[in-house]
Structure 1
Amino acid sequence: MQTVIETESYLRAAKDAGMAEDERAAAVDLIATDPEGGDVMQGTGGVRKARLAGRGKGKSGGYRVVWYFGGGDIPVFLLTVFGKGEKANLTQGERNALRSLTATLRKSLGAK
């Protein structure tokens, strides 16, 4: 299993999306087990997203979890989460911000 870091922005977004503690734990477990799962989001520098079922809602009414994994022993960074009903995808501005963030992470962590 890979180490997973819940960033401050992720925790804030999880609270705003109404994620319960057990749902957050399920997201961490899912991504720690398969950090290269989900779909790579184009234009983000390698950020991934996956659907996570909400409590009693299934995947269609659940959440989209967004994270970055630089490979190897580098931890997974949970970046944000949003309710699937809130929006289907990130804006171009949000993608550009993530690309800048991933470049900074790669440089500081020595990732590819």
Structure 2
Amino acid sequence: MPQSRRRPRPPCCPKWEVRATPGCAALCRTSKAGQAVWVRRKIAQAPLAGDIIPGTGGARKRRFAAPRKGRRGGYRVITYYAAGDVPVFMLALVNKGQRADISQGERNALKGELAELEADYRLGAQAKVKQLRGGRND
């Protein structure tokens, strides 16, 4: 009896939008082709995955394996997910061989930047809605 030829199922669509900050976008462009896209897709599927970095106000650190290197030689990605009305922000994509842990000073600076990033996004979204409504505040 012949076996049925099923087409492979497409990967599930990401639920959340992932936006790279300008600094991270530059790092993504220099990463290997396809790797940054794959990492973004994984982040979109599970924005709350990863370890919370203490003292940052909610930033998370996730580890991804690099091809043929495993997790130890892979990438470390720092993300921030505030709420459902705000996209997941990809803050940094770091080759684990290039950088050690985040210092306390960097954590403190990151805490202030994350609150500002979230507020700026919401203000921009409100302005866009107002513009689309023709200046009305319905």
Alignment equivalent of 1:5, drawn from 19, 25, 31: 19
Question: Cα RMSD between the aligned structures?
Answer: 1.7
> Which residues in structure 2 correspond to 1:91-106 (within 5 Å)?
91-106=103-118
| Higher normalized contact order (CA 8 Å, seq sep 6+, divided by chain length) | 1
TM-score scaled by structure 1?
Answer: 0.86
Shift in alpha-carbon separation, 1:13–1:90, aligned structure 2, 3 A:
farther
In structure 2, the residue matched to 1:87 is 99
In 2, are the aligned partners of 1:23 and 1:55 still within 8 Å (CA)? no
Deviation at 1:31, TM superposition (A): 0.5
In 1, are the aligned partners of 2:86 and 2:118 still within 8 Å (CA)? no
Aligned equivalents of 1:65, 1:96: Cα separation in 2: 18
Number of equivalent positions? 108
> Which residues in structure 2 correspond to 1:22-101 (within 5 Å)?
22-101=34-113
Deviation at 1:59, TM superposition (A): 1.0
Aligned equivalents of 2:108, 2:27: Cα separation in 1: 18
Q: Structure 1: where are the runs of 5+ without partners?
A: none
Identity of aligned residues (%): 38
Deviation at 1:35, TM superposition (A): 0.3
SS in 2 for 1:21: coil
TM-score scaled by structure 2?
Answer: 0.71
In 1, are the aligned partners of 2:82 and 2:118 still within 8 Å (CA)? yes
**Structure ranking higher in strand proportion:** 1
Q: Structure 2: where are the runs of 5+ without partners?
A: 1-14, 124-138
Q: Which has the larger radius of gyration?
A: 2
SS in 1 for 2:34: helix
